[in-house]
Amino acid sequence: MFSRRFDMAVKLGGAAVGAVAGIVFLVIYFGVRNDVADVGYRPEQPVPFSHKLHAGNLQISCQYCHAGVEVSGHSPVPTTQTCMNCHTIVLPESPQLAKVRESYEKGEPIEWVRIHKVPDYAHFPHARHIRAQIDCQSCHGPVEQMGVVSQYKPLTMGWCLECHRNPEANIVGARPISGVFTGQMHDMKDLKDSTYIYKPIAAQVQESEPMVVPSFGNSMSALPAHSVAGIPHPKKAGLGPENCSSCHY
């Protein structure tokens, strides 16, 4: 009924339409679904730094390199000087550290590729979360097991709100490897899991009450007192806020 040429044209046309539809679907899917687009993002870095070796095998505290995170809004990127504190003696001639030595000698920072980033219109204060005894793993995953760090959580607004509303299910209590020593330590005998230096959030969250009336999404609950000289701490802490102004300018 139809010629061979027409039949071939129909097949090619159908394949072209299907390919275009597939591409459009993938663009929309990965463009809109932030959790799909970002989770697993693992760019190649200028220096092959292994967190599994340094934080995992050698047990170097997170805050040794990311110093000042308990008082800073951002988690500082380690300076080359931090690297050279060890590598002036440890493997000083390693070819893998050539860019580190060059950076140190020239006084120019290494251009690390940023992995974790929230939108510019959102504010995530690292210090506030660290001082609340929240371990780095809660957001960054088991970094001490990663040879190459990748994004572990979606960092979407929905994900943040879910953690604020249900901290018991989402927060990992502070561990020694993270170096979160900005609060009051508890007797390890009181804990079932000696991995933690603080009581896990599940043991802390109690019945909450609104900070103001109406609450505007802000609530508080009594937690063990914690203070460090020079670092302001809230008198009460608990469930995270849900009002817009807490995260958006």
- The domains of the chain are located at 4-32, 51-77+112-246
Does 206 score more than 60 pLDDT?
no
Does 232 score more than 50 pLDDT?
no
| Percent of the residues in the chain that have a pLDDT greater than 90, as a whole number | 25
In the block, residue with structure tokens 């590729």: 113
Query: What's the pLDDT at 95?
Result: 92
Query: What's the pLDDT at 40?
Result: 85
Query: What's the pLDDT at 202?
Result: 53
Query: What's the pLDDT at 75?
Result: 85
Report the mean per-residue pLDDT for the chain. 78
- The pLDDT tens digits of the residues spanning 110-126 come to 999 989 988 888 888 88
Does 224 score more than 80 pLDDT?
no
Query: What's the pLDDT at 164?
Result: 85
Distances (CA, A) of 42 to 152, 169, 178, 209: 10, 26, 21, 41
CA–CA dist 163, 154 (Å, integer): 12
Across 32-46, 64-78, 91-105, 173-187, which has the greatest mean pLDDT?
Answer: 91-105
Whole-prediction pTM value? Answer: 0.67
- The pLDDT tens digits of the residues spanning 34-88 come to 555 588 888 889 999 999 999 999 989 888 899 888 788 888 889 999 999 999 9
CA–CA dist 7, 58 (Å, integer): 66
Query: What's the pLDDT at 233?
Result: 45
Does 174 score more than 50 pLDDT?
yes
Residues 6 or more apart whose CB falls under 8 angstroms from that of 145 comprise 52, 56
What backbone torsions phi and psi does residue 191 show, to the nearest 5 degrees? -105, 140
Who has greater pLDDT, 200 or 45? 45
Residues 6 or more apart whose CB falls under 8 angstroms from that of 177 comprise 55, 59, 61, 62, 144
| Percent of the residues in the chain that have a pLDDT greater than 70, as a whole number | 72
Among 103-112, 131-140, 183-192, the range scoring the smallest mean pLDDT is: 183-192
Length of the chain: 249
3-state secondary structure 79-93: CHHHHHHHHCCCCCC
What backbone torsions phi and psi does residue 248 show, to the nearest 5 degrees? -115, 135
For range 140-145, the mean pLDDT: 92
Does 29 score more than 80 pLDDT?
no
Task: Please list the alpha-helical segments (H only) found in the chain.
Answer: 4-32, 34-38, 51, 62-65, 80-87, 98-106, 126-131, 137-140, 157-165, 167-170, 201-204
